[in-house]
Amino acid sequence: MVIERCYLKDGWYFDGQPGQMDYYIPFAIQFYSLVYAHFMENMDLETSTRFRERAGHFSEDFIYWFSDDGNELPFGRSLTYRFAHGAFFSAMGLAEVPGPGYGVMRGLVLGNLKRWLRRPIFDNAGILTIGYGYPNLFMSERYNAPGSPYWGLKTFLILALPSDHPFWTEPAEKAVYQPQKLLPEPHMLITHDKNGHVMAFTAGQQGKCFGASKEKYEKFVYSNQFAFSVSRGLSLEEGAYDNTLAVSAGESGQFQMRDAVEKVSLTETAVYVRYTFPGGVWAESLIIPCAPWHIRIHRIRTRTAIETADGGFAIEAERCFEAVPGRKSGKYEPEMVRYEEHGVFAEFPWGVSGAVSCSGGSGELVSAFPNTNLLYNLTVIPTLRQKLEPGEHLLVNCMLGDRSGDASQWVRQRPEVTVNWDRIQVLYQGKKTVISWEEY
C-alpha cells in the first residue's frame, strides 16, 4: 500500500517525497484512511484500527496549525483547496475518532468555514476561484485546474454525520494549546498567543518540483494572520521577501533567497538552519521565538561585497472590512510608519509589523508588488538592509507581528539580546533564555 511506504511516526506521513509534510497529509492521506476505516472496518479491522490510531496521534499535532477560531496556517503547496484543510476533522467524526474532542473539532471546522466565506474567493458567478485569500493565479501549481478549489467540499463530509452524533451534540470547546510546542515530524516550532496568532518557525522542509517552492516551504516563519508572499522578480519590491533573508551581490539591486540548505536543527527553544546563496555566500541562522516577537541571528561569510535584506511580516497597505460588521475600510497614511535609527515599524489600525536591528543597518518599508501576498492584494514589508564587505559578519535582528490592537505596548516591550560569537542571551518579559551555537 502506497500510504504505508509514506508513513513516519506519531500519525505523520510524508507527501510523496521524504521530508515534505503539508496539507496533503490531513486532507488526502489521513482523510482517505479514515474513510477506509469507516467503511472497511468489518472486512479489514486491523488496518482500520491502525488508521484510527494514527489519526488520533496526528490530531494532537495538527490542531496547532489552527487558532481556536479555525484560522489556519498558510504553508506549503496547493493552498487553493482552502477550507479542505479542515476536512480531516470531518473525517475524524465519520470514523468516530474523538481526537482532541468533538466539541473542539466542530469549532475548528465551522470556524474555518466561516472565515473563508467572509473572503473574496468567489467570482461574479459564484464559482470558487484559483487562489487563496482572493483570486490569484500566480500562487497556483501547474496541476491546478478550474475545478481544483472544489476539493474544499471534502469538509462537508460532516453532513454525513447524523444529528445525534457527538460531533454535533458535545458541548463546544476551545482547543487548549501550549504557548510554544515543537512538532518534530513537520520540522516546526509553533507558537500560539491569546490573540489567535499562530506562528510556525520552520527548517528542513523543501518542496521540490512545485511552483515557488522556496517561498512555500523555506521561510523562517509562517503566520496565520499575515500569510506569506510569493516572489515575482529580483528587486525588493518584486521579490516581496517577507520573513526571509535575501542577498544581493554588490550594487546590482537584485536579491535572491537561499540557494541550498546544508543543515537544520530544531529544539523546543529555537530553530537553526545553515545554507548558501549564489555567488559564494554562506550563512547560518538561529531563530528564537518570543511571541509576538522573534529574534533572527545570522552569521554570514562572504567572498564578495553584498547587501542583505531581512524582511519581516508583510502587512496589508489597505484593508476592506465590508464583510465584518462594525468595521470600516481603511488605508494606511505615512504618519502610521515610524522609522528608527536601525529599524522601521508599520503601526496600522489593523495591526503592526516591525523590524529593528541590534547590529546596524537601516530600516525600510518595502512596497511589495501587487498580488504577491496570499491573503492581501497590496502589502508593505518592514525590511532591514545592510551592506557587508568580504569576510565574516554577525547580524542580530528582531521582528514583530501582532494584531492585538495594542501595537504601542509590543513596540515598547522589546526583547533584550546579548550575543557573542558562541553564546546568545535573550531577556523578554522577565524570562531569560541562554542558547549556545554548539547546541545546533
**pLDDT tens across the length of the chain (440 residues):** 788 999 999 999 998 778 789 999 999 999 999 999 999 999 999 999 999 999 999 999 999 999 999 999 999 988 999 999 999 999 999 999 999 999 999 999 999 999 999 999 999 999 999 999 999 998 889 899 999 999 999 999 999 999 999 999 999 999 999 999 999 999 999 999 989 999 999 997 876 667 788 999 999 999 999 999 999 999 999 999 999 999 999 888 899 999 889 999 999 999 999 999 988 899 999 999 999 999 999 999 999 999 999 999 999 998 765 444 444 457 788 888 999 999 999 999 999 999 999 999 899 999 999 999 999 999 999 999 999 999 999 999 999 999 988 767 878 889 999 988 788 999 998 899 999 888 88
Q: What is the DSSP letter of 26?
A: I
Q: Residues near 1 by Cβ (< 8 Å), separated by ≥ 6?
A: none
Instruction: Name the grid cell of 36.
Output: 477506509
What does 315-362 look like in DSSP terms, one character per residue?
EESEE--TTSTT---EE--GGGEEEETTEEEEEETTEEEEEEESS--E
Summarised one tens digit per residue, pLDDT across range 69-117 is 999 999 998 899 999 999 999 999 999 999 999 999 999 999 999 999 9
Question: Grid coordinates in use for 173?
Answer: 470547546
- Candidates 369, 365, 368, 333; CA nearest to 349 is 333
Which residue do the cell numbers 494572520 mark? Answer: 225
How far is Cα of residue 319 from the mean position of the Cα atoms in its chain? 21
Q: Are 61 and 185 in contact (CB under 8 A)?
A: yes
Q: What is the pLDDT of residue 329?
A: 57
What pTM does this model have? 0.95
How far are the Cα atoms of 100, 120, 339 from residue 321, in angstroms, in the given order? 33, 12, 28
pLDDT of residue 207: 66
What is the reported pLDDT for 326?
Answer: 47
**Domains within the chain, CATH numbers bracketed:** 2-176 (no CATH), 182-439 (2.70.98)
Which pLDDT score, from 0 to 100, does residue 321 have? Answer: 53
Question: Cα 102 to the chain's mean position, in Å?
Answer: 26
CA distance 271 to 261: 13
